[in-house]
């Protein structure tokens, strides 16, 4: 079988790196948190128009996301970090991702300045695909109608995005978060088009899990909230191999040492050193909510029970699969 070489994607970070290209582009703008099936439908729109006109497909995202800039602690929980988002967009065949730093300077741009400096001078936009509820510019002064008028002035077309529904509800990042809060990982997979996972690099922690007899691989989430919380049965991918594990997502209330949530994974029957490695954790089944225990002995007793319950759950799933 011939290997298919993946097309290389260009990543541009920061407005200062936006230089007027020597070709026009097909552009969409948004947070694209989760890159769910609704997003993927928009990306297909962009790619279809890019193919039709023979121009590159461009996705513009923001870092931090606008809601995080205005109120980090109250912003919705992220479904993926920036790196995961870029990888997902690359895998879907987007030609270029532009990541704009959402800061005071960008926030202060008027709608007219955003159109001229970013869309026209920076991206040489030929065709723009955004939702009809898209707002932009200082104090959200620009809207879809303003974009259409600007397009007539600056020679670019504007099209509304497609809406994809599931069971009568628009597929959105908000809906995915709602489903995840219910620990419905099958439902989340149906909306995302893939299993819900968290990726990250294993870092050194306080070694508390090792002291308690349950060593963990710790992944910093670097956010004020996570889309899920509690104890879960997980599959962990390391260097292409999958391992069963028990994961906790939360702030470790018994220890009481965290403000931001962290992902801790105890790998079953696994002894290797994986510090510094990138891992991908797929969430399969929720065991219980995160709890605060009165003593460390009670914590250890419950961790032991969690691990046994997770072993039992994986065993039952395997038996069910064998019967079918």
Percentage of the chain exceeding pLDDT 70: 97
Burial (CB < 10 A; 0-12, 13-18, 19+), residue 267, is buried
Phi and psi, residue 153, nearest 5°: -75, -40
List % helix, strand, coil for the chain (3-state, nearest 5): 35, 25, 40
Q: What is the mean pLDDT of residues 300-314?
A: 96
For residue 6, the model assigns a pLDDT of 52
In this prediction, residue 324 has a pLDDT band, given cuts at 50, 70 and 90, of low
Domains and CATH numbers, the chain: 10-166 (3.40.50.620), 196-318 (2.40.30.30)
Strands 169-170 and 165-166: antiparallel
- Tell whether the model's pLDDT for residue 189 goes beyond 60: yes
Distance CA 48, CA 86 (A): 20
pLDDT tens track for 77-97:
999 999 999 999 999 999 999
The kind and range of the H/E element at 154 are helix 144-154
Provide the angle, in degrees to the nearest 10, between the axes of the packed helices 185-192 and 37-53. 10
Sequence-distant contacts of 144-147: CB under 8 A, at least 24 apart: 146/111, 147/115
More confident residue, 133 or 198: 198
């Amino acid at each position: 079988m011939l290997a298919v070489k993946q097309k290389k994607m260009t990543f541009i970070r920061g407005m200062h790196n936006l230089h007027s290209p020597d070709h026009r582009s097909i552009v969409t703008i948004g947070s694209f948190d989760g890159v769910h099936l609704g997003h993927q439908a928009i990306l297909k729109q962009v790619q279809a128009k890019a193919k039709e006109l023979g121009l590159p497909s461009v996705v513009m995202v923001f870092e931090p996301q606008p809601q995080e800039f205005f109120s980090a602690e109250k912003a919705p929980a992220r479904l993926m970090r920036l790196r995961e988002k870029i990888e997902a967009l690359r895998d879907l065949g987007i030609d270029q991702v532009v990541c704009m730093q959402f800061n005071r300077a960008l926030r202060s741009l008027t709608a007219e300045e955003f159109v001229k400096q970013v869309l026209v001078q920076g991206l040489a936009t030929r065709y723009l695909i955004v939702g009809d509820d898209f707002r932009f510019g200082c104090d959200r002064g620009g809207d879809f109608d303003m974009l259409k008028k600007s397009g007539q002035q600056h020679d670019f077309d504007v099209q509304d995005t497609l809406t994809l529904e599931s069971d009568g509800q628009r597929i959105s990042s908000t809906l995915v978060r709602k489903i995840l809060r219910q620990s419905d990982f099958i439902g989340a997979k149906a909306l995302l088009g893939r299993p819900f996972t968290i990726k990250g690099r294993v870092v050194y922690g306080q070694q508390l899990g090792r002291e308690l007899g349950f060593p963990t691989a710790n992944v910093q989430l670097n956010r004020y909230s996570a889309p899920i919380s509690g104890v879960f049965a997980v599959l962990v991918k390391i260097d292409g191999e999958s391992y069963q594990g028990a994961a906790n997502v939360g702030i470790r209330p018994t220890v009481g040492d965290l403000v931001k949530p962290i992902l801790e994974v105890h790998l079953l029957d696994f002894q290797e050193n994986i510090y510094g490695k990138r891992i991908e954790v797929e969430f399969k089944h929720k065991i219980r909510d995160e709890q605060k225990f009165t003593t460390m002995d009670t914590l250890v007793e419950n961790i032991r029970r969690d691990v046994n319950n997770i072993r039992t759950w994986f065993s039952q799933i395997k038996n069910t699969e064998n019967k079918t």
